[in-house]
Structure 1
Amino acid sequence: MKVAVLGCGGLGRIHASIYAGMRDVELTGVCDIQQDLADDTARMTGAVAYTSFEEMLEQAEFDVISIALPSYLHKEYTMLAAKAGKHVICEKPIALNLEDAQQMIQCCEENGVRLFVGHVVRFFPDYINMKQALDEGKLGRACVAHASRIGGHPGATKAWYNEIEQSGGVMVDLMIHDLDFLRWSLGEVKTVYGLNRREELLDYALVTLQFESGAVANVEANWGFPGQFQTKAEIAGSEGIVMANSLKSSSLQIHKAPSASEASTFVTVPESPGFQSPYELELQHFIDCIRTGSEAIVTARDAYKALELAVAAIESARTGQAIYLPLVER
């Protein structure tokens, strides 16, 4: 299977390096409007570098494209790729609003291609184990959950994160990971209540979810935390509790010193000390789904529902009112 990568920033480089090491996969092109990023990724992987998506589409042969562009470009290039008959693996969030997300899903369906969205937390071992403990009944009836995801403000590295119209802010870009995980684990959400404080290089959000099952979850996300990136999660049930903490979950911890260029160019990407990275497991799973026609662990509709929760949280923070789901599609 032949694959191309659009966007050679931090996650784009990860996608490209993973594809380059996959058996039965050929990375035929990498593209970025910044020539140096495209050239560097090409040297790293052996692929051909392009600075124009249209040029890569015309000259490179590929079946699948990974879209690792800024969030506000996801819709445009997903639809261009779908209309060209390419399967799409798009980084999260699927889009910045529900109308765009629905149009992306519909466009891929109409053109007979698959759409996958990179909600990679579903492939992190700690989160898989928490979900499994709940599914196996080890916790009894789920009652309360907490999740947090905090780190530095990416706007200090990439200016587009500072524009709410381009990134969606901390709830759409960062908290959406935990919103997806909690919906995956606890089922559909009934109401959303959110609080948000935003100023220069600070975007903090606290959201409460009430599930149809009666369970309640509190979710925290923070851009602007002065320490290292970290995540925590716990699910408490009638018979037990399961917890994960990125700073304590493994006796093996890996801290990589960035190169001089990476320190100033790329946003921090969370890593796992497992033998295979969650990103590798995710991309291999998506490729296998294309090969076999099977349904993905996380579907495009799941990505839509995660975005719906983030949009509801933003609306609640704006109005001061709880938002009832589902939202009306427009």
Structure 2
Amino acid sequence: MTMIQIAMAGAGAAGMRYTQHLLKTGQAQIAGIFDETQEAAAELAAHCGCSVFASLEALLEAVPEGVVFVCSRQPENKARHVIQALQQGRHVIAELPAASRLQDVRDMLAAAGPSAKRLLFTNPERFYFHNADVKKRIAGGAIGSIGMINAKRYSPLPSEHADSISYGAASDDSVSLSPAIQPGANQAAWTDSIRWSNGQQEPEGQEAPAGALYRLALSDIGHLRWIAGDVASVYAMRTVAEGLDYVLVTLKFQCGAIANIEAYWGYPGGYVSAAEYAGPKGVIRYDSRKTNALSIHKTGHAGAHAQAKHQSSPSFRDPEVAEFTHLLSCITDSQQPVSTAADVLETLKVTDAALQSIRSGQPVEMAAFAAADQLDDGKGDGERA
């Protein structure tokens, strides 16, 4: 088997986890690593047996053609790095959330079109076994046509010691955690773009997209679009106070289903993910608090906000390794990805519509929202057939 060469941008905890998953596929080798923090890059490179590069430009120039670029950067840096790699003729696998602005995703898609290279996004929600099972059962008519969905995603406030506390899905977990809750995403990274408003309505343009809506609810919006199809309208409310961000999003789907999504950042307990799908033939429920088979309690850091506790349901199969195996196959065998770049763009549109609803206090019709937000001339799906 010919090994796929990987160029990594990002050597933080998320980049380290991605590297481990890629190596576990048995299909990939790490050719080089770039990170502004040289110590982190050197540590990861020593583990992989590859070279460290001081800049993205140096990395892309040094690695041979055919190398796949994997980007696990923060949203504010991701678009620039992804576009640069695509323009140099590299296939790209980028971490969700794709970006904090629709225009950034459009720019990525525009760069991918002329390059004839694949632009792929990780989406672990679609590879967790309980989510795949729910999708299969609903598609098979187990509960009939979906009428109502209730979903919630609660997360504690990340601590200043988050680099040493894992908030992402552990490699042996089947519990679904938001892709935004990554190891290394410390409190400052989450709060820099939050304007604490003590529950008051947020004026237009006062803060960059962030918080519970983009860090938590976005994952459920994307997941429920996968389950129930396109969204017809959005209504959302938000309460923000010091150390707490709560968002309630109501989606009406074109199929007629209604979904309520709760996103709560600053939850005093541990991470919670739950969903309930109701139809005329029955109800399907999932709750991470009721499926955990293992609970680990550790001595926490002094002053840490997050709970020094990890609950999981270990599995012999690793869903994130399965995801990277799938993504690599999309490159080598031209498979259609489970989560397309167009999916990512549409999910971000719905999330932006929710933000507009929060600001206006009114529901937003997606048809009108899309008409007012026309794509650029560079619109494309970013992927080859």
TM-score by length of 2: 0.78
TM-superposition CA deviations, 1:25-83 (whole Å, max 9, x none) = 11111221111211221223323223321121122336211111111112111100101
The 3-state SS of whatever aligns with 1:248 is helix
Q: Could you say if the C-alpha distance between residues 290 and 160 of structure 1 is closer, same or farther in structure 2, counting changes exceeding 3 Å?
A: same
Letter in 2 for 1:34: T
Q: Distance in 2 between matches of 1:119 and 1:205?
A: 22
Give the conservation status (yes or no) of the 8 Å contact 2:149–2:278.
yes
Q: Could you say if the C-alpha distance between residues 106 and 155 of structure 1 is closer, same or farther in structure 2, counting changes exceeding 3 Å?
A: farther
The 3-state SS of whatever aligns with 2:32 is strand
Give 1:239's aligned residue. Answer: 281
- Is 1:71 matched with 2:75? yes
- Is 1:106 matched with 2:114? no
Task: Give the total of aligned pairs.
Answer: 324
Give 1:176's aligned residue. Answer: 218
Q: Could you say if the C-alpha distance between residues 152 and 282 of structure 1 is closer, same or farther in structure 2, counting changes exceeding 3 Å?
A: same
- Is 1:27 matched with 2:68? no
The 3-state SS of whatever aligns with 2:290 is coil
Give 2:198's aligned residue. Answer: none
Give 1:298's aligned residue. Answer: 339
Give the conservation status (yes or no) of the 8 Å contact 2:121–2:339.
yes
The 3-state SS of whatever aligns with 1:301 is helix
Q: Which segments of 5 or more consecutive residues in structure 2 lack a partner in the other structure? A: 161-185, 194-206, 376-385
TM-superposition CA deviations, 1:189-216 (whole Å, max 9, x none) = 1110011122333221110000111110
Q: Could you say if the C-alpha distance between residues 30 and 256 of structure 1 is closer, same or farther in structure 2, counting changes exceeding 3 Å?
A: farther
- The percent identity for this pair of structures is 29
Q: Distance in 2 between matches of 1:215 and 1:24?
A: 41
Q: Distance in 1 between matches of 2:250 and 2:268?
A: 24
Which of the numbers 225, 229, 233 marks the counterpart of 1:191?
Answer: 233
TM-score by length of 1: 0.91
- Is 1:134 matched with 2:138? yes
Offset of residue 109 of structure 1: 1.6
Give 1:162's aligned residue. Answer: 191
Give the conservation status (yes or no) of the 8 Å contact 1:192–1:207.
yes
The runs of at least 4 consecutive aligned structure 1 residues that moved more than 6 Å come to 268-271
Bigger drift between 274-283 and 308-317 goes to 274-283
Give the conservation status (yes or no) of the 8 Å contact 1:82–1:108.
yes
Q: Which segments of 5 or more consecutive residues in structure 1 lack a partner in the other structure? A: none
Higher helix share: 1
Bigger drift between 90-99 and 197-206 goes to 197-206
Give 2:122's aligned residue. Answer: 118
Give the conservation status (yes or no) of the 8 Å contact 1:7–1:31.
yes
Q: Distance in 1 between matches of 2:312 and 2:30?
A: 23
Give 2:86's aligned residue. Answer: 82
Letter in 2 for 1:149: R
Give 1:58's aligned residue. Answer: 61
- Is 1:277 matched with 2:318? yes
Give the conservation status (yes or no) of the 8 Å contact 1:7–1:32.
yes
Give 2:383's aligned residue. Answer: none
Q: Distance in 1 between matches of 2:299 and 2:347?
A: 31
Q: CA RMSD in A?
A: 2.4
Which of the numbers 232, 237, 246 marks the counterpart of 1:204?
Answer: 246
TM-superposition CA deviations, 1:4-32 (whole Å, max 9, x none) = 22112222111111222332311111221
Q: Distance in 1 between matches of 2:319 and 2:214?
A: 21
Offset of residue 166 of structure 1: 6.0
